[in-house]
Amino acid sequence: MKNKWQAAFEVAKYTNYDFLHYDQDTDMIWLKDRKKKTLLCLLDMDLSDRELESITDNIFNSADNLSAIAGFPVKTINLYHLTEKKFTRKFKSKTLRVNHRTVSNLEKIISNPFYKIDMKYKKPKDDAFYKRRLMSRHPFEKYMIKFTPMTLLFVTLNTIVLLINLIFVHLFNTYELTNLLAVSHYEVASGEYYRLVTSTFLHVGVSHFLFNIFALYILGKFVEGIYTPWHLLITYLAAGTISSLFSLVFITEGISLGASGAVYGLLGLIIVHLLITRKIKAKLLIQIIAVFAAVSVLSMFVANVNHYAHIGGLITGVLLGVIFNFRRVKLKYTIIAAAVLILFTMFSHYGMNRQTSIHPMDDEALYYYEKGDYDAALEVVNNSINKNAATDMTYYLLGKLYIEAGDEEKGQQYVDQSYEMDPSNELAAKEKILEFRKNQDYDNMNAAIDKLETPVEDEELQILIDEAN
């Protein structure tokens, strides 16, 4: 490869090296790897032995200056010569190693297998493009350059799930996948905890998907570029899961889905990192706030936005930000953050289990029933029964639908079945208490009242209880 700027760009994209500076006098491009305390220099000139030794002497003489520019004590400098001439030269002092190597193929520097695929199909651009991207002072630029496989994996998974869900909805006219993967209080409280994870890959529609994926792509590359793919994996799954669990403390009806809880977790992590490393600059802060504002504003156009999940994700991301930076903060703060994260998760789980709810399909059927759309309500009820997902509320609604259709005897049988399945079902209990009162069966009436959980939410049922007392 003869294109030096493209070579520098590819190294910065596929390795841990970041652009450091460009020396116009010597026409040398410098990159740095902070973790390995190493500098990398790219040259495309054929040098004589004397010129090579002269450059090496200059490097040793300016070692302190190079360390100051890099921001860390440099231990090794690797100079790669993009030339057909083959040689290897090594020099060292007490504190510094300088290695010269020739490379005709960047695969000797870049071991990432995706680089080979990328280079096979990508058309090279001119030097100006690569130079502009590498030397940009845009705060996000160096992270946007990076190849971030975990971010791409999450974007791909979200996209695949969206496409499959759209096929289910628009071709087969069913919300089977949504009902299977989305979070609902009833089903999570019943033990289907997998929904806390699967719901973070599911979106209600294209617009919902697009603004979540836009934020995920930007913030994901930032997190993965600062840390590692595993940090992104942990943050996405932890923030997505805990945020959904936290939201169930407050939302007990309907379903919720989407990656926004995980996205807010990434945002919280980035903010804490910038605060801890003191890299908050006005331009960077404005851009982070802009991303945050864009997610918040765009979410207003989606019905039933789960703001509790956003709060839960942000809290989780902030706590993980402290934990991930344990080397930069005092040990006690790391321990406190870990303890708070555990307690926050336990509180969310406890709070969720303290709430009561009905099956989301029953909730949908009840919604249609109360609107007077009995055909739609019956379709949902039959769907629950066919899927073996029927509950006491399902049979209560089925009974009420039979009564509305004029078959009071069969309808009452289903209402009685609902009450037998769960005597604490307030709607079915109200029907039975009214029946007992009508028949002046006060013993069974009082027994039915004793089986109810307190406090009673149904106002009409509460009046009946007050009258009985």
Do 137 and 22 contact (CB within 8 A), yes or no? Answer: no
User: β-pairing, 18-23 with 28-33?
Assistant: antiparallel
Chain length of the chain = 469
- Owner of token pair 């994901």: 220
Angle formed by the axes of helices 374-386 and 392-404, nearest 10°:
140
User: β-pairing, 76-81 with 38-43?
Assistant: parallel
Maximum Cα–Cα distance for the chain, whole Å?
A: 113
User: How far is Cα 236 from Cα 234, in angstroms, rounded to an integer?
Assistant: 6
User: How far is Cα 58 from Cα 313, in angstroms, rounded to an integer?
Assistant: 51
Q: Which of 244, 247, 260, 348 is catalytic?
A: 260
349 noted as active-site residue: no
Cβ-based neighbours of 225, under 8 Å, separated by 6 or more: 142, 143, 146, 148
Do 329 and 322 contact (CB within 8 A), yes or no? Answer: yes
**What is residue 356's three-state secondary structure?**
coil
User: How far is Cα 414 from Cα 409, in angstroms, rounded to an integer?
Assistant: 9
User: How far is Cα 206 from Cα 158, in angstroms, rounded to an integer?
Assistant: 11
DSSP string, 42-110: EE-----HHHHHHHHHHHHHTHHHHHHHHTS---EEEEEE-SSS--EEEEE-SS-EEEEEE-SSGGGT-
User: How far is Cα 55 from Cα 61, in angstroms, rounded to an integer?
Assistant: 10
What's the order of all strands across the beta sheet hosting 18-23? 18-23, 28-33, 38-43, 76-81, 97-102, 88-92
Burial of 33 (0-12, 13-18, 19+ CB in 10 A): buried
User: How far is Cα 277 from Cα 170, in angstroms, rounded to an integer?
Assistant: 48
Q: Which of 185, 203, 273, 310 is catalytic?
A: 310
Tokens of 254: 């309907």
- Owner of token pair 């496409």: 163
Query: Pick from 162, 156, 450, 140: which is nearest to 283 by CA?
Result: 140
**What is residue 20's three-state secondary structure?**
strand
310 noted as active-site residue: yes
Which residues are known catalytic residues?
Answer: 260, 310
